Structure 1
């Protein structure tokens, strides 16, 4: 395991470096192997400095999980936020971003799998997961509503929420299968499968490029 070289950093930057080191250690060693000592070595700091920022390992893991979930959600939201794009393009970009790197890579899956069991047993993990899910759902809901209005279709909030829940479930399933066994989807890439499936949920409204 490589060790980062020491450099002076501000409070916020140092805390972020420790969170990054925590994620690196969990990805390499798992939750049990990612000890405070290992994390300190990875970050190039002392255990005493870690205690300045975090009360203990549990708090570090919670911060790392929050960082992981924010990164996954943020990548998709950022992809859909390009200026001048139509509502159709923004919704399509959002879906594609959830099924392409960096969201779909082995490291992200390993981290997610390491943390997810704690959602049912740790209230802080449960809160982080819930907030991340609701933020993702809200972004998707807004994209769906804008797309429907662009297509001169009714955008009832209840219907948009139901569509967002269904599309999120579809994305989650494809993300999990594709990240575990991506070689099974070489003939038809996951984004194309997702777009075709979402179009069906949207009553045949097109998201893929028109020919």
Structure 2
């Protein structure tokens, strides 16, 4: 019985913490970081302002955790495609690149949130640390997918992952900012062609539904 009570308490506290993070994200999406005041976050989450200090050292700490949560969720959505079986390492990488350039990863709402956070990275070392953690986590996953194709020199793998990640990031930004400027699946196709050119592989051939468009 005691163990059940402790588990229930932990789950309840985790839900309240997540509610505060969700409230901060909603406010930042609507009005930028300046809109995420302690009072506004508490009101949206349905708690008292003092409760925020129970879960976070400061409002800035809460905002950093909100950024981490957003970036982690986006990376998880991208990586979800890897849970399905793929016939080859090329097909696995192709699926990952394509998923990065379609919903729910490519989402104007998420880009708006990202833009609201990113200007803080240069002025806040702790925010910069969160950015580095999430960026490197994503890049390391991308590097592991590239490594499965054959290259095994660490310096070469690092350079390839940086280059491919740059292509994905750039297309993601453009697709989120101007979603009506591109034909259906156009950015996915360009992403596969560009990443494939960097790696010397025909990734587009491993997603027949795109190759036939």
| Normalised-by-shorter TM-score class | 0.7 to 0.9
Report Cα offsets for 1:38-58 as digits up to 9, x if no partner. Answer: 111211111122221122211
TM-score (norm 1): 0.87
The reply to whether residue 62 of structure 1 matches residue 64 of structure 2 is yes
Instruction: Quickly say closer, same or farther: Cα 1:187–1:23, change in 2 above 3 A.
Output: closer
> Paired residue for 2:46?
44
| Alignment of structure 1 residues 63-102 onto 2, 5 Å | 63-83=65-85, 85-102=87-104
Give the Cα–Cα distance (whole angstroms) in 2 for the partners of residues 206 and 84 of structure 1.
Answer: 16
Report the 3-state secondary structure (helix = DSSP H, G, I; strand = E; otherwise coil) of the residue aligned with 1:155.
coil
> Paired residue for 2:126?
124
Indicate conservation of the 8 Å contact 2:19/2:45, yes or no. Answer: yes
Report Cα offsets for 1:95-144 as digits up to 9, x if no partner. Answer: 11211112211210111000001110101111011111111111111101
Cα distance, 1:16 vs structure 2: 1.1
TM-score (norm 2): 0.86
Which of structure 1's runs of 4+ aligned residues deviate more than 6 A? none
> Paired residue for 1:208?
204
Q: Which runs of 5+ in 1 are unaligned?
A: 1-7
Higher relative helix content: 2
Q: Which runs of 5+ in 2 are unaligned?
A: 1-8, 209-213
Report the 3-state secondary structure (helix = DSSP H, G, I; strand = E; otherwise coil) of the residue aligned with 1:10.
helix
Indicate conservation of the 8 Å contact 1:81/1:90, yes or no. Answer: no
Give the Cα–Cα distance (whole angstroms) in 2 for the partners of residues 177 and 86 of structure 1.
Answer: 29
Give the Cα–Cα distance (whole angstroms) in 2 for the partners of residues 28 and 188 of structure 1.
Answer: 28
Cα distance, 1:65 vs structure 2: 0.7
Give the Cα–Cα distance (whole angstroms) in 1 for the partners of residues 91 and 66 of structure 2.
Answer: 32
